[in-house]
Amino acid sequence: MQYQEAKHQVKQITRKRNDGLKSVFFLAPSWVLLLLFFITPMLLTIFFSFTNLSLTGSAASKLEFVGFQNFVNIFEDPQFRSSIYKTIIFLFFSAIIGQCFFGFFIAFLMKEKNKLFRQIIGLIIIAAWVTPEVVVSFCWVAFLGDNGTLNQLIELFHFKPIAWLFTFPMISVIIANIWRGTAFSMMVFQAALDDIPKEIEEAAIIDGASKWKVITKVTIPMVKGTIATNMMLVTLQTLGVFTLIYTMTGGGPGNATMTLPVLMYKQAFVSYQLGYGTAISLTLLLIGVVASLLYMKTLKMKV
Amino acid sequence: MAKRSHRFEIAIHYLILSILGILFLLPLLWMLFASVDPNAIQALKVPEKVTFQNFNSILTDPGLMRSFVIGFFISGGQALLVVFLCIIAAYPLSRYTLKYKKSFMMTILFLTSLPITAVMVPVYQLFLTLKLQDSLIATTLFLTASSLPYGIWMMKNFMDSVPIELEESAWVDGASTLRGIRSIVAPLMLPGIFTVGIFTFAGSWGNFFVPYILIQTPEKMPASVTIFQFFGNFGMVNYGRLAAFSVLYTIPVVVFYAFSQSYMSKGFSLGGATKG
């Protein structure tokens, strides 16, 4: 018996010694991939954005440092400035007002409803979220088309059909993105609202608090952390939205929906100005970094 | 009196939710109806007769079918790699006391939230320099790397919930660490493994931007890109076929999600998934 125990202890000690080596061995493959395909490109973004990197023309043969020239160029470029503005509009209305608010709203209304009803509504909303981005784009292009469902609907009420994607391009892509993304926030908030003990809200009602007071003074403060985290996550997801906008409007008509990712694509892969494109990448990354740091801070606040 | 107003309020809730439900359903319903309608139009309409003609014409197109196979190769390969790499990477992070664990996890969390879109221009340049452009394997590896931060983060949290005592008894019986992982830890965290795998697959199956940039040969394009090209070529002419293609392309992710549904709620309580 004692012998067994001693053997066990020896084993545990050798195990400890091997732990460091094993961790290196276990973590190495992930690190190699992350370094090569994730961290290197990020460092390259910083590096390339100070060069005249391009795919064609005289600059293609010879890589030169141009200092802050790309940044001077992008900030002098009215297209870039308007793109920043459009990105902010898209982020604000589609992520913060749209997905977060609607997600919370739906999750809140679904509380304590008929189970089957909850499942059906939940299923429809999640179906929109599961659908691949390109397909979402088709569904909305058809829905908003000249002879599409929406125009047929408004004709029932004797309104004239509208070329939605040309007349209201930004609103169209914002609505399509809300449609696609709301399920995520809804599920996050459903999980958070389910965690609130029922007694707390009931106690507030017994104490004579109005329904509105209960929501603003009890429910929302209790899921404050989740709201902050969800807002950051959704903002970061929305910041990178390229496919939906590119396949719905291509950034147009004109530059009406040219958010930063679409502008970056156009500059780098259509005009072959990679240096200029990476300068936009760096701007996107920096916005992402700031949002990430804020996100991590809200998490720490909670943990 | 109070009771009646309460009932009225509940009715309003049901009404709002039903309207929202219908608004969410309409665009999707068009796709479903048009896919079985030989005379599909841009607007939503109930098909006069239901046929599988549209599906047939997609399923018998060898080019489109190849793009489905390529899509499965990329997304399936990526999901398997991510699951494997994340399990072995999560193990030391969950089990050992490592000096740099905290900073490593913070780095991982930080990488999780950066938009992939932003690094695509330098990734393209990197692929050009390393002569990797147009390679399906390199594209799969890049996608794998991009899902690792999220995967490792999730996997570590799932692994933390498997008690170490179960493994210890296996060690006493002479099992190696890898064996312990394979026969004790992995089976107990199967829901977590499925969650990570399915999320990875679905994200990659729908990813249009990455293959659109990194692959050039039309014959090597996965379904996410060919469906967009199909839309450009026939989309505005033949709604029925576009809808059928869309349905076929959406089915794999729907099936996987339906399969994972029982595990999904776990991933969504942010509180549980964020303990560092």
Q: What is the pLDDT of residue A5?
A: 66
Q: What is the pLDDT of residue B143?
A: 93
> Quick one: average pLDDT of A54-66?
63
Q: What is the pLDDT of residue B1?
A: 46
Which residues on chain B are in Cβ contact (under 8 Å) with A296? 106, 109-110
Cβ proximity of B37 and B29 under 8 Å: no
What is the CA angle A241-B141-A269, rounded to 5? Answer: 45
Q: Which residue of A has its CA nearest to B94?
A: A23
Q: Please count the residue pairs, one from chain A and one from chain B, whose beta carbons lie less than 8 angstroms apart.
A: 273
Q: DSSP letter at A271? A: S
Q: What is the pLDDT of residue B78?
A: 94
% pLDDT > 70, chain B: 91
- Report A:112-131 residues touching B (Cβ under 8 A): 113, 117, 120-121, 124-128, 130-131
CB atoms B206 and A132 under 8 Å: yes
Per-residue pLDDT of A232-276, as tens digits, reads 888 888 988 999 999 898 887 888 899 999 999 998 888 887 777
Closest in B21, B42, B114 to A142, CB measured:
B42
Closest in B43, B121, B171 to A264, CB measured:
B121
Q: Is the ipTM of this complex over 0.85?
A: no
Per-residue pLDDT of A123-174, as tens digits, reads 888 888 888 999 999 899 889 888 888 888 888 888 888 888 888 999 999 9
Cβ proximity of A287 and B118 under 8 Å: no
Which residues on chain B are in Cβ contact (under 8 Å) with A147? 41-43
Phi-psi region of A57 (alpha: psi -120 to 50; beta: other; left: phi over 0): left
- In chain B, domain spans: 53-273
SS3 assignment, position A148: coil
Q: DSSP letter at B149? A: H
Cβ proximity of B134 and B216 under 8 Å: yes
Q: CA nearest B226: which of B239, B240, B202, B242?
A: B242
User: Which backbone phi and psi does A65 adopt, to 5 degrees?
Assistant: -75, 130
Closest in A15, A240, A269 to B118, CB measured:
A240
- Name the CATH topology of A78-302: MetI-like fold (1.10.3720)
As a whole number of angstroms, the distance between CA B93 and CA B155 comes to: 10
As a whole number of angstroms, the distance between CA B80 and CA B135 comes to: 19
Which residues on chain A are in Cβ contact (under 8 Å) with B268? 187-188, 190-191
Per-residue pLDDT of B225-234, as tens digits, reads 988 888 877 6
Q: What is the pLDDT of residue A54?
A: 64
**Contact A251/B at CB under 8 A:** no
Question: A219 vs chain B: nearest CA distance in angstroms?
Answer: 16
Residue B2 binned pLDDT confidence (cut-offs 50, 70, 90)? low
Residue B276 binned pLDDT confidence (cut-offs 50, 70, 90)? very low
**What is the tally of helices (H) and strands (E) in chain A?**
17, 0
CB atoms B117 and A289 under 8 Å: no
As a whole number of angstroms, the distance between CA B155 and CA B113 comes to: 16
Closest in B110, B116, B121 to A278, CB measured:
B121
Name which of A74, A114, A124, A138 to mutate to probe chain B: the one with the most chain B Cβ atoms within 10 A of its Cβ: A138
Q: Whole-number mean pLDDT of chain B? A: 83
> Quick one: average pLDDT of A75-81?
86
Residues in chain B: 276
Q: Which residue of B has its CA nearest to A142?
A: B42
CB atoms B121 and A281 under 8 Å: yes
Q: What is the pLDDT of residue A303?
A: 42
Helices (H), B161-238: 164-172, 177-180, 186-188, 190-205, 209-214, 223-230
- In chain A, domain spans: 78-302
Residues in chain A: 303
CB atoms A138 and B86 under 8 Å: no
For residue B274, is pLDDT > 70? no
Q: What is the pLDDT of residue A94?
A: 92
Question: A264 vs chain B: nearest CA distance in angstroms?
Answer: 8
Residue B72 binned pLDDT confidence (cut-offs 50, 70, 90)? very high
Q: Which residue of A has its CA nearest to B45?
A: A149
CATH superfamily of domain region B53-273: MetI-like (1.10.3720.10)
- CA distance to A144, A226, B263, per residue, from B102 (Å): 49, 22, 27
Per-residue pLDDT of B101-152, as tens digits, reads 888 888 888 888 788 888 888 888 888 888 888 899 999 999 999 999 989 9
Residue for token pair 């992710």: B253
Residue B270 binned pLDDT confidence (cut-offs 50, 70, 90)? very low
Closest in A27, A138, A148 to B92, CB measured:
A27
CB atoms B122 and A8 under 8 Å: no
Q: What is the pLDDT of residue A17?
A: 59
SS3 assignment, position A132: coil
SS3 assignment, position A51: strand
Q: What is the pLDDT of residue B154?
A: 86
Residue B236 binned pLDDT confidence (cut-offs 50, 70, 90)? low
Per-residue pLDDT of A172-181, as tens digits, reads 999 999 999 8
For residue B203, is pLDDT > 80? yes
For residue A228, is pLDDT > 70? yes
Which residues on chain B are in Cβ contact (under 8 Å) with A37? 123, 126, 141-142, 144-146
For residue B264, is pLDDT > 70? no
CB atoms B246 and A139 under 8 Å: yes
Question: A282 vs chain B: nearest CA distance in angstroms?
Answer: 7
Which residues on chain A are in Cβ contact (under 8 Å) with B125? 44, 48, 53, 274
As a whole number of angstroms, the distance between CA A101 and CA A178 comes to: 10
Q: Whole-number mean pLDDT of chain A? A: 83
CB atoms B27 and A143 under 8 Å: yes
Cβ proximity of B52 and B36 under 8 Å: yes
Closest in A27, A134, A149 to B228, CB measured:
A134
Terminal CA-to-CA distance of chain B, rounded, Å? 50
Per-residue pLDDT of A3-30, as tens digits, reads 666 666 666 656 565 677 888 888 888 8
Per-residue pLDDT of B8-63, as tens digits, reads 888 888 999 999 999 899 889 988 888 888 777 777 877 778 888 888 888 888 88
